[in-house]
Structure 1
Amino acid sequence: MTAHAPEPPVPPEQPATRTPSVWSAPGMVALGLVALIGFSGYAALLPVAPLWAVEGGADSGGAGLVNFVLLGMTVATQFAVPWSISRAGWAWVLSLGMVFLGVPSLLHGLTDALLPTLALSAVRGIGFGILTVAANAAAVLLVEPSRRGAAVGAYSAALSIPNVIFMPLGGWAASALGFWPVFVVGALPLLGIPACLEVARHLPARATHDPRHPAADEPEATTSTYLALLRPTIILLAVTLAGGAVITFAPQLVAQPWLSAAGLFAMGVVSAITRWRIGTVTDRIGVDRLVAPFVVLTAVVFGVMALLVRDEVTSAQAAAWIATCAVVGLCYGALQNLTMLQAFAAAGPRRVGTASTVWNAGFDSGTATGALLVGWVAVGAGFGWGMALVALISLLTLPLALVRTRA
């Protein structure tokens, strides 16, 4: 008989290695704190600063100017942030952003006159512009390229918490407890400066691009790049114009402070859930098929809101108000993500930074314009006509929504 060699022993099965959480990356927890604390100061004052101007005698046009100045200065600042980081470094720029967000909130309490309120809103806009661009870039640079999506998702989750909590509660707190507690919450970004310094320790000293992340570098954007981004940006402008109008004027649309809080809470929660889940749907059926239906739904729901807010919303209309705000949140969240995906596709895979900058500028410009436009219309014709105009503007973007994005 032929002897057979003994079979080698089978090695024991190795347990599957788990991918560590993106929060374990150095600096990510500190960045989460920066987002959580910084956006708390922003969200608390967004509906309250216009209300403070009304307290000082401003009409709805003046109230709309408050957030228009805030977000207009945000957009103007965003394009200068990379240059500022390259000159002064991450620690200085991030920390100054938190100072510019926090200190004006305390100064608001000294006067409710319109001009000082607008000036303080402009300073807050500089701080918010710094926070949005610098923190977004930091989320990309703190992790290896293969984990950028997870890092941006974690950062987005951190900033969504104050938007869901403080934005709806701000108007209620100002009416029930007084404005000073809200101004104190608005100053929370000052507590985030140590976290800014910790984030800066893990980032390249004076650049927004780390040589270890070559994919972050991109060719210069051309005129054709910006033209390609025009279509999703206009659609985004329309829906954020609508959302900005609701966020700014919700405390003035309703008879009871709790109604404002309930409506904004419904809008915030539904928007956050939609932004979280819409990606799975787009992976299955594509982005372009979803944009037009949500544009139509935006026009319809603001038509309903126009009828609802012709007179001050009362407790008897609470269910209709909250349901309408929830549908607004559905459209607001869906079209944010859908237009962002369209912008990335339109700009091309090597111009992610350009697409992100233009998208952020479009988002803040739309929110600012909604506050100003509806406020001005409301002065002469009432909020019902202001919301009807928002519905019409949304509907006018439907032809753009029906065009397919190039591959």
Structure 2
Amino acid sequence: MSVWRVPGMPALLACAALGFTGFSLLLPAAPMWAVHIGADNLGAGVVNSVLMLCTVIAQLLVGKFLRRAGWGITLALGLILLGAPALFHPFAASLWQVLLLAALRGLGFGVLTVCGVRGIAALIPQERRGRAIGAYGLAIAAPQFVFTPLAPWLAEHMGYQLVFVLAAAPLLAVPLAFTRPAPHLADEPGTGRLAGISGLVLPISALVVITAAGGGILTFAPQLGGTATAFAALLAMTGTTALARWLIGGVADRHGPARFIAPMLGVGAVGLAVIATGINLGRLMGAALVIGGCVLVGISYGALQNLTLVHAFTATGRSGDQVGHGAVSVAWNVGFDAGTGLGSLAVGALATSFSFPTAFAVMTAACVGVGMMWVFHRHDGYGPGRDAAA
């Protein structure tokens, strides 16, 4: 049976798609609004950093809430927290108000992301999980492909109010949270715990550095070369992210994910270096390099999202650590969102103190460093080419 036909998966994928529609629209638009009302680049970067900080907090707590309130209520609450604050953005006249709305959205996003990954783990057996994660990745990457690059254009040409109304899309998914059958999570060993996390350190490290790079691009694309360049760059990045995350799933199932992680970090490092080079060049050449670099980063960004998650499940299962699906979900999502928030903050701070090329050069070095760690790490037999599935 196709993973798309597994009972419970269509509703889960629809919730993810509508949730990420709202998230994708405001990821660039909320920092733009902060600048619009008087914030500097650092203030703009703090918006998404607060978003991701509160996302991480929610991810660490959602396991307990799931066990007490149940799947439907928990997911519905997350969708409401993610979608409703969008409607209040037109009334936010200071950076602090924008940050408060970002905090609420972060709590909702944290709930959605943990429920999504845990739902896949509960609904799909291990041997088909790469394809399922690919399907989930497509459901969340397609809205990013359409709406992340479109948001800055809509804000500048059609008005911020339209963006904020569209960003309330997660509210449309609330009824789907109660669709049956819902994933059964009560008997997962280790749910909500982060015990036995040692097997996750390297894949989560790889995830953090590439999502930091992605967070920097998604937050500051409008400042890298004008509206047209930002639109093309975000379209290129989100498009290749969607394709890479979808296509790598079957490859990971057949050959194991670990052997591809270091090469994908290398692809991301090259893309970031190309972006850093293109920022200060002339309009046409600079724009071409920024867009080309975003293509490479998108390939790395999408592939590593899938590879690191599949590897996290197989590595913990093989190592004997009784890490439940919930704990793996929390660890992976914390890595993803902490990386995105740190990237936004780091790029904003470095751009304010030095320049955007310096900021992306630092991101390049981070990818190279973790890639080298991955290549040379052999502790406890855990390293490249040592998948449980391989």
TM-score of the two chains, using structure 1 as the length reference = 0.84
- Structure 1 CA distance, aligned partners of 2:194 and 2:289? 47
- 1:74, 1:128 within 8 Å by CA — same for their partners in 2? yes
- Structure 2 CA distance, aligned partners of 1:235 and 1:365? 12
What is residue 229 of structure 1 aligned with on the other side? 200
- 1:295, 1:331 within 8 Å by CA — same for their partners in 2? yes
- Structure 2 CA distance, aligned partners of 1:392 and 1:165? 30
- Number of aligned positions between the proteins: 376
Residues 1:60 and 2:41 are matched in the alignment: yes
What is residue 254 of structure 1 aligned with on the other side? 225
- 1:259, 1:315 within 8 Å by CA — same for their partners in 2? no
Structure 2 runs not aligned, ≥5 long: none
- 1:109, 1:183 within 8 Å by CA — same for their partners in 2? yes
Once structures 1 and 2 are overlaid, which stretch shifts more, 165-174 or 25-34?
25-34
What is residue 9 of structure 1 aligned with on the other side? none
Q: Deviations over 1:70-115 (max 9, x none)?
A: 0111011012112112112222212211111111101011124110
What is residue 8 of structure 1 aligned with on the other side? none
- 2:47, 2:98 within 8 Å by CA — same for their partners in 1? yes
What is residue 365 of structure 1 aligned with on the other side? 338
Residues 1:321 and 2:290 are matched in the alignment: yes
SS for the counterpart of 1:229 is helix
Match of 2:82 among 75, 88, 101: 101
What is residue 168 of structure 2 aligned with on the other side? 187
TM-score of the two chains, using structure 2 as the length reference = 0.88
Cα separation, partners in 2 of 1:128 and 1:60, compared to 1, 3 Å: same
Q: Deviations over 1:203-223 (max 9, x none)?
A: 37xx732x6xxxx43589676
How far the C-alpha of 1:376 sits from its partner, in A, is 0.7
Cα-Cα RMSD = 2.5
Q: Deviations over 1:262-284 (max 9, x none)?
A: 11111111122122222444456
How far the C-alpha of 1:117 sits from its partner, in A, is 0.3
Q: Deviations over 1:368-407 (max 9, x none)?
A: 0000011011112121111111112222213311125255
- Structure 1 CA distance, aligned partners of 2:253 and 2:119? 27
Residues 1:117 and 2:98 are matched in the alignment: yes
Which structure has the highest helix share of the two?
A: 2
- Structure 2 CA distance, aligned partners of 1:328 and 1:23? 28
Match of 1:330 among 286, 289, 299: 299
Residues 1:81 and 2:52 are matched in the alignment: no
Structure 1 runs not aligned, ≥5 long: 1-18
Question: 1:250 is matched by which residue type in structure 2?
Answer: A
Once structures 1 and 2 are overlaid, which stretch shifts more, 25-34 or 262-271?
25-34
- Structure 1 CA distance, aligned partners of 2:229 and 2:345? 23
What is residue 267 of structure 1 aligned with on the other side? 237
Q: Deviations over 1:186-240 (max 9, x none)?
A: 1111121111222xx4237xx732x6xxxx43589676x3223212212211111
What is residue 373 of structure 2 aligned with on the other side? 400
- 2:219, 2:344 within 8 Å by CA — same for their partners in 1? yes
- 1:64, 1:374 within 8 Å by CA — same for their partners in 2? yes
- Structure 1 CA distance, aligned partners of 2:49 and 2:289? 28
Greater Rg by CA: 1
- Structure 2 CA distance, aligned partners of 1:29 and 1:333? 21
What is residue 383 of structure 1 aligned with on the other side? 356
SS for the counterpart of 2:182 is coil
Stretches (4+) displaced over 6 A: 143-147, 219-222
